[in-house]
């Protein structure tokens, strides 16, 4: 019989010595999962929908249909298990720690693996994340990296250690064009990944974080963390318009998504005027991105967000044209604080 483990116990284990197996459907897994999990779904999205509907009307028939689907896939499951390292402990979970995870956990155990079933399943994991983030206050000092659109803040964050890349966790650059070339995460997945990152950094003294609004794309930064960011020392990155244009071209115009870009530009007609928006779309058609990027920066982004940045108080201003030099200066500041 497979033993159970709580999520609190599971996250205290050496994560390199365990493997989480998520038995939920691909759609459930895609919305959020325990970081590092491997999805081995008992049911496809469509199968889960059919069995779920059947369950509402006739539970016995639903169980019969579920086991019939499962039995057809046993050999496939066994082939997947053979790829796992038997020196690692397997922790299996589903939505609530019910039949799906128990069934797979029993099967995994027969293959000689050290196997545990996650008590309460993903639901308990989600509760843990929500409860911890609700009152989370950073135990470390934050240094906020702020600057105009295209100033290279994200590039710096990715190279600084230790740091929190909120846009990377959200898979969104926090602007109208921010989802281009990316697949934004759900609020649940953003919170899961953020919480795990915060746990990695809990013993740090000082951590860099990019200045963001409360909302990054469609996800929200936890209230207590955002409040800590507002009170933290802030560094302003000042980058030339030429450098900013090149960064915008790289980030927004290198994904072969010109039609999406034109749709977004047309939504900005009240800010840019219809004539300017039409001209920018023509440049996009010709793949002449430099005038598009420059106009968006000067006539839209800087006008929309520049005033808010001007009102902030900064610990120090750093030139962002030379990123290596900027990183050196930022690391010196970290040692000072």
DSSP string covering 29-78, please?
Answer: HHH---TT-EE--SS-HHHHHHHHHHHHH-HHHHHHHHHHHHHHHHHHHH
Is the pLDDT at 267 greater than 90? The verdict is yes
What confidence score (pLDDT) does residue 141 get? 96
Whole-model pTM: value is 0.93
**Domains defined along the chain, listed by start:** 3-130 (3.40.250.10), 138-336 (3.40.50)
* Cα–Cα distance for residue pair 194/226, rounded to 1 Å: 13
**Contact present, 241 and 197 (Cβ < 8 Å):** no
**Residue 147 φ/ψ, nearest 5 degrees:** 170, 170
**Helical (H) or strand (E) element with 318:** strand 316-319
Q: How far apart are CA 159 and CA 149, in angstroms?
A: 18
Q: What is the pLDDT of residues 11-64, one digit of tens each?
A: 999 999 999 999 999 999 999 999 999 999 999 999 999 998 998 888 888 889
What percentage of the chain exceeds 70 in pLDDT? 100
Distances (CA, A) of 249 to 72, 89, 183, 295: 50, 46, 19, 12
Kindly report the average pLDDT of the chain as a whole number.
95
Instruction: Identify the band that residue 337 occupies on the pLDDT scale cut at 50, 70 and 90.
Output: confident
**What's the pLDDT band for 307 if we cut at 50, 70, 90?**
confident
Distance CA 301, CA 174 (A): 12
Helix (H) or strand (E) holding 262: helix 258-267
pLDDT for 306: 86
């Amino acid at each position: 019989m497979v033993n159970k483990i709580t999520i609190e116990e599971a996250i205290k284990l050496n994560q390199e010595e365990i493997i989480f197996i998520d038995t939920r459907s691909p759609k459930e897994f895609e919305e959020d999962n325990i970081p590092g999990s491997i999805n081995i779904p008992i049911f496809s999205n469509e199968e889960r929908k059919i069995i779920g509907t059947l369950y509402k009307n006739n539970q016995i028939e639903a169980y019969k249909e579920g086991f019939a689907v499962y039995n057809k896939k046993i050999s496939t499951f066994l082939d997947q298990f053979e790829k796992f390292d038997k020196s690692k402990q397997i922790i299996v979970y589903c939505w609530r720690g019910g039949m799906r995870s128990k069934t797979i956990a029993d099967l995994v155990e027969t293959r000689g693996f050290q196997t545990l079933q996650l008590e309460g399943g993903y639901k308990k994991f989600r509760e843990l994340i929500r409860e911890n983030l609700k009152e989370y206050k950073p135990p470390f000092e934050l240094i906020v990296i702020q600057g105009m659109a295209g100033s290279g803040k994200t590039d710096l964050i990715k190279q600084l250690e230790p740091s929190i890349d909120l846009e990377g966790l959200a898979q969104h650059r926090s602007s109208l064009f921010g989802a281009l070339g990316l697949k934004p995460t759900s609020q649940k997945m953003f919170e899961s990944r953020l919480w795990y990152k915060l746990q990695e950094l809990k013993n740090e003294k000082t951590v860099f974080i990019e200045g963001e609004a409360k909302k990054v794309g469609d996800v929200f930064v936890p209230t207590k963390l955002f409040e800590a960011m507002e009170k933290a020392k802030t560094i302003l990155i000042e980058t030339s318009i030429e450098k900013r244009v090149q960064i915008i071209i790289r980030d927004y115009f290198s994904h072969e998504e010109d039609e999406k870009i034109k749709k977004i530009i047309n939504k900005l007609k009240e800010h840019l005027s219809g004539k300017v928006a039409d001209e920018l779309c023509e440049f996009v058609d010709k793949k002449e991105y430099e005038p598009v990027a420059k106009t968006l920066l000067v006539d839209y982004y800087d006008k929309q967000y520049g005033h808010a940045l001007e009102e902030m108080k900064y610990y120090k201003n750093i030139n962002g044209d030379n990123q290596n030099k900027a990183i050196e200066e930022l690391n010196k500041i970290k040692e000072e604080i």
